[in-house]
Chains A and B, each alone.
Chain A
Amino acid sequence: MTDFTEIWTYLSRGPLLWLTATLIAYAIGDALFRAANRQPLANPVLIAVTLLGTLLWATNTPYTTYFQGAQFVHFLLGPATVALAIPLALNLPRLRKSALLVAAALIAGSVTSIITALAIAKAFGADQTLLATLAPKSATAPVAIGIAESLGGSPTLTAVLVILTGITGAIIVTPLLNALKLKDWRARGFATGVASHGIGTARAFQVNPVAGAFAGLGMALKAILTALIAPLILRLF
């Protein structure tokens, strides 16, 4: 019989082990999320990430090894973004009727997110590089990274801030908008997509299909608007 270390060495070299681990960790996260009655704090991404992070640390596995397996899941982010066209197309009559609302909420939400983030960071003594890194953080990752690069920020750190923003949005959106007594699913979803991109959009789809469609639209429009206004707002700081 082959001993455990040998099997481990063999398996840890291929993508199968970490791909399986990613799916199992997410399945556990999703099960806990359902068991917790879809409580936002029991966010399945956060649970899966914590489990996998602990596992990588315990087995002394570098991220690059993990990513060889996880890349198959990561790759699907692109096709999933394209797939957001389907809920958009299904809700097209609703979207047409709310074009003006969408435009107003997009501008208000985007400007608020960039200005408040930069003002707070600056008050805490952030330098210009860090502000350039922070400015695009609520856009979807590939857009944010590109903008941070062109502004002289750190792309790696921007990616971290983007993910943290998404998880934050997904966790706070439901209690926050319930406290504000907002019941319009279009408004709730759209604001979520604008403020916390794909992770917020994923949360919106868990709650309501109309909210999901509007969140997808918010994320897409935010990506375009951030590329235009983040450099302008950064100049004010």
Chain B
Amino acid sequence: MIQALALLLLFQLGGEATSRALTLPIPGPVLGMIALTAALALSPKLLTLMRPLAEGILSHLSLLFVPAGVGVIGHLTALGTMGPSLAIAIVVSTAAAIAVGALTFTAVAKLTGSDATDD
């Protein structure tokens, strides 16, 4: 558990340091995630070690957005008169992106014959 946590933080630290050092537009945790995926693909032992902790954290991923969400309330007034139009822009663009993304995925899956039933 502690080993897994230390490794998780270590990969984040490595990601943050790389992102800063090379002034990349990609945040440290995302780089850490990519590096850890590569490491896990190479070592099944590491995957067994990290799995319980990761599943514990990810099963309550929503909780981690609560503090930032509370911060949003105080800034809702900053949206000002543009508030309603921004709300429409967000709802429509998010719905369109989900629909287009999922439909493209299944359309290409059909074209290439890579159906979900293959798994």
Contact = CB atoms under 8 A, between A and B. Distances in A.
Contacts of B109: 98, 101, 184, 186-187
B22 interface: no
Interface in A30-82: 30, 43-46, 48-49, 52-53, 56, 63, 66-67, 70-71, 73-74, 76-82
Contacts of B93: 112-114, 116-117, 120, 138
A212 B26 contact: no
Contact of B96 (A49, A73, A113, A198): A113
Given A156-B75, A212-B58, A49 B66 contact: yes
A100 B115 CA distance: 13
Contact of B67 (A46, A70, A161, A190): A70
A113 B93 CA distance: 5
A159 interface: yes
Chain B contact surface mostly: helix
Given A90-B47, A191-B105, A163 B65 contact: yes
Contact of B54 (A56, A83, A172, A223): A83
A164 B66 CA distance: 12
A125 to B, nearest CB: 8
B9 interface: yes
Contacts of A110: 97
A17 interface: no
B14 to A, nearest CB: 10
B104 A192 contact: no
A177 interface: yes
B55 to A, nearest CB: 7
Contacts, number: 331
A147 B108 CA distance: 30
Nearest to B26: A224
B112 interface: yes
Nearest to B52: A86
A132 interface: no
A112 B92 CA distance: 10
Given A63-B71, A89-B37, A81 B32 contact: yes
B21 interface: no
A142 B15 CA distance: 13
A137 B30 contact: no
A97 B98 contact: no
Contacts of A70: 66-67, 70
B26 A143 contact: yes
Interface of A: 22-23, 25-26, 30, 43-46, 48-49, 52-53, 56, 63, 66-67, 70-71, 73-74, 76-90, 92, 94, 97-98, 100-102, 104-106, 108-110, 112-114, 116-118, 120-121, 124-126, 130, 134, 137-138, 140-143, 146-147, 150, 156-157, 159-161, 163-169, 172-173, 176-177, 180, 182-188, 190-192, 194-196, 198-199, 201-203, 205-206, 212, 216, 218, 220, 223-224, 227
